[in-house]
Amino acid sequence: MMALSFLNIIASIMVALLLYPLLTLTQNYLRVRTLGLPIVFSPFGRLNPFWVITQPYIAPFLTRLSTISDPFSIFQNFVDYSTNSCFFLSRYTLHECYGPAFFIVTPGLTELVIADAPAAAEVQTRRKDFIKNELNYKPLEILGPNVVTLNGEAWARHRRITTPPFNERNSALVWKQSLLQASAMLKSWIGKGERGVGNTLDDTMALALNVLMAAGFGKRFEFGGGSKEEKGDSMSSYRNALSIVLGNLYGAIMTSMLMGLPSWALPKKFLDMKSALKEAEEYILKMIEEERAGLVEKSSEGDNLMSVLLKASESEAMGKGRMGLSDEEIVGNLFIYNLAGHDTTSNTLAYAVIMLATDAKVQDWLHEEITSVFEEESVEKWNYERSFHQLKRCLAVLVSLIIILYYDIWLILSLSCSSKRSVSTAQYSTCRDTQPPRTNVSPSKRKRFSSHHTPSY
């Protein structure tokens, strides 16, 4: 009798587990059904943790299954628009099929995907109507709230304070450090001779991290070498901690969520990440303290992102009715500079190098511009203010690479609307819609990437 009721409980739980997603899927479908846009279904939201973790194993299996016969083709269908790399692989084909805007309905969030430039611009500029989805952004508060993760008034305060560091003076510092690091990287590549360059990305990651350390904190590292700091300084271990964290962002996010758990409950990988995160946090706090106490000897370039951020926060706090950033927020923002600026730049550089290596024509085109701007001048003398704005071809190559590559940012970061909002533009008028609550809008994700493949653009 006991066994029977236990089985009944298990069976009821199983039925509930199966029925609940069906119920929420139906609810979500009913919300968008009348809006006049094409609807596609997926059993998993793109950010569903189970799906994110298991898709590398399950998706190829489902794709193979879908080739057997018709009823199974349904698997390929949702794999096409639900996996992490789907936007990269599908390019514009899904929009060819479903039009410039369509809904992806799942048991979790519903997603509105648009490939229409004016509509995308409208969504991104109406910051009050289309807010960041906290569920997606919260995990990026690894060491504290920051300008990337916040909405509304808090975002505006962080934005006011975190903008001043990105000034022309700091750009000149970034320029100088980039030249130093790139020259050293090239020297090491040339030194490899016939063996060739083994891993371009590892080197561009080291380069990007060194530039960030110098521009962010005024701490200099040689490419492929150690710190230029005095012996005993813990900067090298901070750089190592940071490179562990930045090298495994998903691991860092998971670990920051599990930070409260006792050490014995965490696997070794998480423990290593936990101590890297702790070290990074402690070191940033120490640097802030030193900067405030005026203990930092200024380099010839003077300010860096951290020093300007601290000054901006203090002067904001002095304004009437205003407040600066708390220490936790300062750490959060300094850390997010590293995070936001590391993978993005290092991947772009690695792709640029590989692309240039395979395309002699583009190489010649850039070479022509570089020799005309700098003539015979040696690299050490290249001047930011005088030259940067003249390097239009270099900029064009990097910008087009960025547009191609960074579709994935929108896989992670999407906007959502908390109440009914409408988006309409001339091009979009056929699918003019009023968005229901709990809908994610992914304006650029497909737009950015698919626009390169959109005949009308």
Residues forming the site for ligand HEM (CB under 6 A): 147-148, 159, 336-337, 340-341, 344-345, 348, 402, 406, 409, 413
Phi then psi for 182, rounded to 5 degrees? Answer: -65, -40
CB of 159 to ligand HEM, least distance (A): 5
- Decide whether 254 or 340 has the Cβ nearer to ligand HEM: 340
Task: Round to whole Å and give the CA distance between 405 and 397.
Answer: 12
Taking CA atoms, 346 is separated from 202, 241, 349, 353, 384, in Å, by 9, 18, 5, 11, 21
Chain Cα centroid distance, residue 226: 28
Taking CA atoms, 32 is separated from 35, 84, 151, in Å, by 5, 24, 26
Question: 24: which 2 tokens?
Answer: 């929420």
Task: Round to whole Å and give the CA distance between 171 and 156.
Answer: 23
Burial of residue 353 (CB within 10 Å: 0-12, 13-18, 19+) is: middle
- Decide whether 37 or 214 has the Cβ nearer to ligand HEM: 214
Task: Round to whole Å and give the CA distance between 112 and 441.
Answer: 5
CB of 337 to ligand HEM, least distance (A): 4
- Does residue 206 sit in helix, strand or coil? helix
- Decide whether 324 or 341 has the Cβ nearer to ligand HEM: 341
Q: Which residue lies nearest ligand HEM, judged by its C-beta?
A: 341
Question: 405: which 2 tokens?
Answer: 């590559």
- Decide whether 25 or 312 has the Cβ nearer to ligand HEM: 312
- Decide whether 444 or 454 has the Cβ nearer to ligand HEM: 444
CB of 4 to ligand HEM, least distance (A): 53
Task: Round to whole Å and give the CA distance between 112 and 94.
Answer: 13
CB of 338 to ligand HEM, least distance (A): 7
- Decide whether 35 or 140 has the Cβ nearer to ligand HEM: 140
CB of 409 to ligand HEM, least distance (A): 5
CB of 402 to ligand HEM, least distance (A): 5
